[in-house]
Amino acid sequence: MAGERLTQARAWLRQDPDAETRDELAGLITRAASGDTTAIAELDDRFSTRLSFGTAGLRGALGAGSSRMNRVLVAQAAAGFAGYLLQRSGSTPTVVIGYDGRRNSRRFALDSAELFAGAGLRAILLPRLLPTPVLAFAVRHLGADAGVMVTASHNPSQDNGYKVYLGGADAGSQIVAPADAEIAAHIQRVADAGDVGLLPRSEGYEIAGEDVVDAYIAATAEVARAPFGVQEMRWVYTAMHGVGWETFARVLKSAGYPAPRVVDEQRDPDPTFRTASFPNPEEPGAMDLAFARARAVDAEFILATDPDADRLAVAIPDETVEGGWRRLTGNEVGLLLGRRAAQAAQGAPGASLACSLVSSPGLAAVAAHYGLGFHETLTGFKWISRAPGMVFGFEEALGYLVNPGTVRDKDGISAAIAMLGLAADARVRGTSIAGLLAEIGEEIGHFASGQVSIRVDDLSEIADTMLWLRTQPPAAFGTRAVTGAEDLAAGGSGVPAGDVLRYRLSDGSRVIVRPSGTEPKLKVYLDVTAASAAEATAAVAELEAAVRQLLAERG
């Protein structure tokens, strides 16, 4: 086995154009060849598998080897995707490439542009590092056949990724099956052919003009222009060390909103994410600097985008919690924005709301209240964006699609503008974001949600837990009996197949279990409804404790 890994590693080394990963791999090879068992194990980890291309594209830790993100793997992916597009298109395909501020993002984007151009495609590189929603917008705005965004979204600093969109009939959405498998097959053929240094490259790619960014800013500003009388609104914004601020600031100015008090330490792109070890607004501690800034300026609310600005977090003052500030759940924000969209679309033939099956059932209640259709999908905006008649879609992981006519993916910046519109209107009416949540509770009932996330070092632990739940299904979660159970592995309930278990409980609560699609986590989603907000919150806490106890019993 050691000899096989050394052969693989040496073949990889010969084609690697990156000095840093070459040095890294050469050192491992030298140590492994001398019998160093740690180095041999490391080579096995790097070459025993291949970073798989799926409906989320590629995402993984930077480093040398077939199971890492690096220039060899990106070259194989770009050449394979080019082959797929050439086969799919009857003419010269156009592909747009964007990149964020992570380490190697620009380098991976340049490699892709050169390889696309070398393969005979029209390749258009965005003018500088920009948010993911700008790339998603550009695919539709430029009438492109495809788009590639180099980003790992909110993953840790050591990661990067490669997200793929399709134009034409796919309308700028992320890829779904069977396109993912077809692209993966093309990529594998490139990898099997050997040296990526032999792939044709060209510097004949285009650099998109600033007019593309200007068009995104103009379209996003129209999502919710500022009403008269909001110039005194005090709010805080953090970009979480990502690429959101420059674009968001321009949208704010165009839409007429007052400038926020910015968390300066997190305003500019920083690939080390030095103040947030895990740059995800959902993670404990990630928004602490924003909370401190909000307390200092007596803010009315906080908005935060994740590093590539496709997700939005919202926080409000709350004297009942430590520190006086509470981040709203993704479901709470989803219901706020969903109600806004439903009110605007009321009476429009065929209009619908959509959310993933792990998101709040409250959105279905909102749709029914305002006479709109409703669609429940698998997790991911690749599915939500395809819901018929969708005027708004969301998933609980802080993703919101509020402007489907221009961006067919989650967009933290357009969602932030929509939230500012809600906050401004509420302020004019003498209420607040908390007041809007209370209004929704009065209209459709009080929904509350929670989540239990189990992070693992070994992915087999997740598979083992899912198998355990399937072979020894729980009869109850605490005092709540299971009255219905669904295994969506074979599909059903109007959604495609997925590794998802869904339980309905005796009090109307819901528990859903699934592996994370982007992180080494098992996720458990909890949803309850009650006569009051306080009762709903208490019920979620009880259900969360019951879930943790059940999982602890397995060990």
Q: What is the pLDDT of residues 133-151, one digit of tens each?
A: 999 999 999 999 999 999 9
pLDDT value of residue 493: 57
DSSP code of residue 202: -
The pTM of this model reads 0.93
Residue range 436-466, pLDDT digits in tens: 999 999 999 999 999 998 888 888 889 999 9
Looking at residue 18, its pLDDT comes to: 97
pLDDT reading at 227 higher than 80: yes
The residues annotated as belonging to the active site are 153
Q: How far apart are CA 530 and CA 509, in angstroms?
A: 10
pLDDT band at 215 (very low <50, low <70, confident <90, very high): very high
Assess whether pLDDT exceeds 70 at residue 258.
yes
CB under 8 Å to 6, separation ≥6 — which residues? 29, 32, 33, 43
Per-residue model confidence (pLDDT) at position 197 = 95
Q: So what's the pLDDT on residue 492?
A: 57
pLDDT digits (tens, 9 = 90+) for 85-105: 999 987 899 999 999 999 999
Asked if pLDDT for residue 277 goes beyond 90, the answer is no
Q: Provide the angle, in degrees to the nearest 10, between the axes of the packed helices 433-444 and 412-428.
A: 90
Please, are residues 330 and 401 in contact by the beta-carbon 8 Å criterion?
no
pLDDT of 489 over the 90 cut: no
What percent of the chain is predicted at pLDDT more than 90? Answer: 87
Q: What is the pLDDT at residue 126?
A: 98
The contacts of residue 300 (CB under 8 Å, 6+ apart) are 233, 234, 235, 316, 317, 423, 427, 432, 433
Average pLDDT of the chain is 94
> What is the percent of the chain with per-residue pLDDT over 70, rounded to a whole number?
98
Per-range mean pLDDT, top range of 50-54, 142-146, 499-503: 142-146
Structure token pair of residue 320: 């009942």
Residue 172 has pLDDT above 70, yes or no: yes
The pLDDT of residue 316 is above 60: yes
DSSP state letter for 524: E
Q: How far apart are CA 337 and CA 136, in angstroms?
A: 21
Residues 408-421 have pLDDT tens digits of 999 999 999 999 99
Question: Which domains are seen in the chain, by residue range?
Answer: 1-48 (no CATH), 54-208 (3.40.120.10), 230-444 (3.40.120.10), 446-554 (3.30.310.50)
Does residue 259 register a pLDDT over 60? yes
List the beta strands (DSSP E) in 58-172. Answer: 58-61, 94-99, 122-125, 146-150, 159-166
The whole-number pLDDT of residue 372 equals 98
CA 328 to chain CA mean position, Å? 17
Q: Say whether pLDDT at 110 is over 80.
A: yes
Is the pLDDT at 244 greater than 70, yes or no? Answer: yes
Copy the structure tokens of residue 516. Answer: 């994370």
